[in-house]
Structure 1
Amino acid sequence: MKPFGQDFQFAQALGLQMVERGGGRCTMAIDVDRDQHFSPQGAAHGGVAYSLADTAMGGALTSLLDDNQWCATLEIKFNYHARVVEGRLTCEAEVLHQGKRIANIDARLYQHGKLVSSANGNFAIFPAPGTQA
């Protein structure tokens, strides 16, 4: 399985943390901080949860890909169920179906034992630059 997360500067900048990854699943987390992640409305900016889900979903898929394959988000349907406050936000992502060129991935985000968001997305699978198809 190719490495994921530790060398991803965007994830590091947000404070995303890899918890567990393998076999088409990925769990990631972030410690939501009022000073860093909140919007003026007094809750975490929606992009925090979305970025966590998108990154975990990519992590789930790349755990199944060959070293000469990459993936990219095509679309994600994201649902916000409850506001995200300070504290640990965890995302559990799972590949539901993987074809030759497209994969479908599901994600659930939890905070303080409560489902706060859910997502389903399609990701493209393609040869890494410099490799043959």
Structure 2
Amino acid sequence: MSNALTATAEPLDLAARCRAILDGRVAPPPIAGLIGFRVLSCEPGRAVFELNTDLERHANPMGTVHGGILCDLADAAMGFAYASTLEQNETFTTLELKINFLRPVWQARLTATGNVVQR
């Protein structure tokens, strides 16, 4: 499997790459392996990601899941949702991310759903 970030001579099509990752034809980005999340679904304007938290890997000094891990999961879902709407050779990056944490997370299966509201 080739890496999802491998440069090719072909035009960049992030929507097609999202589908290829979901189908297993292309490896997910390295951050997915580092954090441990995976894509469950990706359709135009919507993506769902999952993370089974592991306190051996994801804990902060207080013993709960580190907020940055939660941000990474949310950013991945939002990013894939947006990427699924892009035309060939369009790209994007997250410019700002704000999250309000409502309660701590320990060992859990987390699901993040990204929905494009405005493009």
- What range is the shorter-chain TM-score in? 0.7 to 0.9
Q: Going by fraction, where is strand more abundant, 1 or 2? A: 1
**Residue 3 of structure 1 aligns with which residue?**
17
Matched ranges for 1:28-107 at <5 A: 28-98=49-119
Aligned residues: 98
Q: Is the 8 A contact 1:2 1:62 kept in 2?
A: no
- Matched residues, percent identical? 32
Determine the C-alpha separation between the residues in 2 that align with 1:67 and 1:36: 36
Shift of 1:95: 0.5
Shift of 1:31: 0.6
In structure 2, what residue type is equivalent to 1:73?
T
CA RMSD of aligned residues (A): 1.2
SS in 2 for 1:74: coil
Determine the C-alpha separation between the residues in 2 that align with 1:72 and 1:44: 25
Determine the C-alpha separation between the residues in 1 that align with 2:16 and 2:105: 31
Shift of 1:8: 0.4
Shift of 1:77: 1.6
SS in 2 for 1:78: coil
**Greater RCO, CA 8 A, separation 6+:** 2
Determine the C-alpha separation between the residues in 1 that align with 2:77 and 2:114: 6
Unaligned runs of 5+ in 2: 1-14, 22-26
Q: Going by fraction, where is helix more abundant, 1 or 2? A: 2
In structure 2, what residue type is equivalent to 1:75?
E
Matched ranges for 1:89-128 at <5 A: 89-98=110-119
In structure 1, what residue type is equivalent to 2:17?
P
- With structure 1 as the length reference, what TM-score do the two structures score? 0.70
**Stretches of 4+ aligned residues off by more than 2 angstroms:** 4-7
- With structure 2 as the length reference, what TM-score do the two structures score? 0.78
Determine the C-alpha separation between the residues in 1 that align with 2:116 and 2:51: 21
